[in-house]
């Protein structure tokens, strides 16, 4: 017959293991019940004041969304990260990349607050990326806006004529070589490209209207490509408030319910590396601009030059 007293006397080690096992199970169940009742305590945000803020930087021309998406995903999954500040200093860039970042920012903000901090310049695709954040903060002198789409094709016919260059093209359809550098663009080609530009432009307008709680008509009047100062943008409803990077951190901390205004910041541990950057250094962006002139790309990009 099973007798616990007999087991304790003859096998004290076994009884200790049993007691410890019972205590472990009870503790585990108690923690589970506690977290179910107070889910915010899983990150310590209400009871211990712990937590950090992740910082994602978007600087220069936006040519790829890979790095910002990777960092946003990491911070979204990291339980120690309570909020994210998206620091933007960019004239914009490729349409697809800007839209990808925008969607990932929205996805992250549904789980933990994201605050966009606009630096000296956050225009076109740079502003598009910020639209996914819960709050958009800028300085009065920040240049932003430039809500529009552009695509540029070089016309080198005069140069080709001078050097005697000729090209022979074999194509499957009459529009396959649209934008060819060795001839003027036809009216049909211009009309086709304009339809694409208008469609992508409407996508930008829709994102502005929905993210900034504006009517489609209000957003459309602001979407003629013009730039705004931060002060103008605030009056027009394109940003939420004035502030610098530190202010953005404090706003993010408050939105996350953190006990300190300036919690520790975390930057992505994985450094951005590319062979192109290693070879050309900071001139990599200029190189991209030169290449994009030869291989046109739809861009949400502020253009100071023709």
**SS3 label, residue 86:** strand
**Assigned token pair, 48:** 């211990």
10 belongs to the catalytic site = no
Task: Return the closest-CA partner of residue 75 out of 226, 201, 252, 245.
Answer: 252
**Buried b vs exposed e over 84-110: b needs ≥16 C-beta within 10 Å?**
bbbbbbbbbbbbbbbbbbbebbbebbe
Quickly list H helices, 45-186. Answer: 66-77, 95-109, 125-130, 157-163
Cβ 149 vs Cβ 297: under 8 Å:
no
Q: Where are the extended beta strands (E) located within 172-284?
A: 227-229, 241-242, 265-267
Cβ 300 vs Cβ 128: under 8 Å:
yes
Looking at 117, 124, 139, 299, which residue is catalytic?
124
Task: Return the closest-CA partner of residue 264 out of 276, 272, 256, 274.
Answer: 256
Residue carrying structure tokens 């950057």: 277
Q: What angle do CA 133, 139, 145 make, to 5 degrees?
A: 60
50 belongs to the catalytic site = no
DSSP 10-77: H-HHHHHHHHHHHHHHHHHHHHHHHHHH-GGGGGTTTTT---EEEEEEEES-B--SHHHHHHHHHHHH
Q: Which residues contact 46 (CB under 8 A, 6 or more apart)?
A: 38, 40, 257
DSSP 216-236: HHHHHHH-SS-EEEHHHHHHH
Looking at 32, 152, 174, 176, which residue is catalytic?
176
Query: Where in the sequence numbering do the catalytic residues fall?
Result: 124, 176
């Amino acid at each position: 017959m099973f007798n616990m007293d007999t087991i304790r006397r003859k096998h004290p080690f076994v009884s200790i293991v049993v007691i410890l096992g019972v205590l472990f199970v009870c503790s585990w169940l108690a923690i589970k019940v506690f977290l179910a009742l107070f889910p915010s305590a899983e990150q310590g945000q209400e009871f211990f004041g712990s937590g950090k803020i992740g910082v994602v930087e978007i600087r220069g021309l936006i040519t790829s969304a890979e790095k910002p998406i990777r960092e946003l995903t990491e911070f979204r999954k990291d339980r120690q990260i309570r909020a994210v500040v998206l620091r933007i200093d960019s004239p914009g860039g490729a349409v697809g990349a800007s839209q990808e970042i925008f969607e990932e920012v929205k996805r992250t903000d549904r789980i933990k607050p994201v605050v966009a901090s606009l630096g000296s310049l956050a225009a076109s695709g740079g502003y598009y990326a910020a639209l996914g954040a819960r709050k958009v903060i800028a300085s009065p002198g920040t240049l932003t806006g430039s809500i529009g789409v552009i695509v540029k094709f070089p016309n080198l016919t005069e140069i080709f004529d001078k050097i005697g260059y000729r090209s022979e093209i074999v194509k499957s359809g009459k529009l396959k070589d649209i934008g060819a550098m060795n001839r003027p663009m036809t009216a049909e080609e211009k009309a086709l490209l304009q339809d694409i530009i208008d469609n992508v432009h409407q996508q930008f307008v829709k994102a502005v209207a929905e993210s900034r709680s504006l009517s489609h008509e209000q957003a459309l009047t602001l979407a003629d490509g013009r730039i705004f100062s931060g002060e103008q943008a605030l009056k027009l409803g394109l940003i939420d408030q004035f502030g610098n990077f530190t202010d953005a951190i404090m706003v993010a901390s408050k939105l996350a319910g953190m006990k300190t205004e300036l919690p520790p910041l975390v930057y992505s541990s994985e450094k951005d590396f590319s062979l192109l950057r290693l070879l050309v250094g900071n001139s990599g962006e200029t190189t991209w601009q030169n290449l994009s002139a030869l291989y046109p790309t739809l861009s949400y990009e502020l253009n100071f030059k023709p």
